[in-house]
Amino acid sequence: MGGYSLNILVTLDQNYFPQLQVMLTSLKMNNPGEQFSLYLLHNHLPEPMLEAVDKWCGQAGYGFFPVQMDEELFRSAPASSRYPVEMYYRLLAAWMLPEDLDRMIYLDPDTLVINPLRPLWETNMTGWLFGAAAHTGKTEFANDMNRLRLRVEHDYYNSGVLLMDLKLGRQEILPEKIFQHVEEHRMELVLPDQDLLNALYGERIFPLDDALWNYDARNYNNYLMRSSGKCNVKWVMENTGILHFCGKAKPWKPGYIYRFGMLYQHYMQLAMRDWGQEG
């Protein structure tokens, strides 16, 4: 697409727009000289928000391509307040994005990009639908529980950062199969979009190193222990590409207790300047 080199996908509603601004600011600051094409899948995001992103991308030298949801694609999709239609977006991105796109990095808006993304973009995952990381932790208890719950043998992969092979996705990912799975397993889906990724496509996921590409910001002590002290704060700042603020506790809310909350607050201030919102 034009002269842009790395494709980034985000999906969100208007409630997460401030976090999108923070994530994009961190992306720009820590990928100097890199060109991005930003794709935004949305369902009627307010026009002023789209205009703000378009203006920011223009100033950053990025391409911006908003894609409004194709309602016809989701006409038969099971949806409710617990299962909003947005949960399907990242899994069906191959069907909603331009057909000339082959590869995409999906990022949740509650992430920070603190080092270059090109090594992730250039990861060789030939033959795999997705690249994703599992948050196994030290004891792997949650990982094992999710395996048992979904009756799968592979690790339980987090869906907040995905490297996507869109060309393969158009061949292998069928919307009707996803909708049927939701209809048949409604009572078993705890984290719906993540459960769907694992239950239907877990065997087609190339494992990424979570310490590099989907670092769970709550689990600093686990990373430190499992690396025998190697993955300290200095290592994270020098090597980790993506910090992910998983779970209900969020660093933009009061009372956040985890180690990288101050770093997130720093990028919040930088984002206010970057998006012209100071004062």
The rounded distance, in Å, linking the Cα atoms of 61 and 65 is 13
Name every residue whose Cβ is closer than 8 Å to that of residue 183 and which is 6 or more positions away in sequence.
78
Measured CA to CA, the distance from residue 31 to residue 69 in angstroms comes to: 29
Side chain identity at 272, as an amino acid letter? M
Do the Cβ atoms of 113 and 119 come closer than 8 Å?
no
Domain 6-274 falls in which CATH fold?
A: Spore Coat Polysaccharide Biosynthesis Protein SpsA; Chain A (3.90.550)
Summarised one tens digit per residue, pLDDT across range 96-128 is: 999 999 999 999 999 999 999 999 999 999 999
Q: Please write the tens of the pLDDT for every residue from 174-231.
A: 999 999 988 888 777 777 788 899 989 999 999 999 999 999 999 999 999 999 999 9
Distance from C-alpha of 174 to C-alpha of 76, rounded to nearest angstrom: 13
Mean pLDDT of the chain: 90
Q: What is the pLDDT of residues 11-48, one digit of tens each?
A: 988 999 999 999 999 999 999 999 999 999 998 899 99
Token pair for 193: 């979009």
Give the other-Cβ count within 10 Å of 2's Cβ: 7
pTM for this structure? 0.92
Domain boundaries, the chain: 6-274
* pLDDT of 138 strictly over 50: no
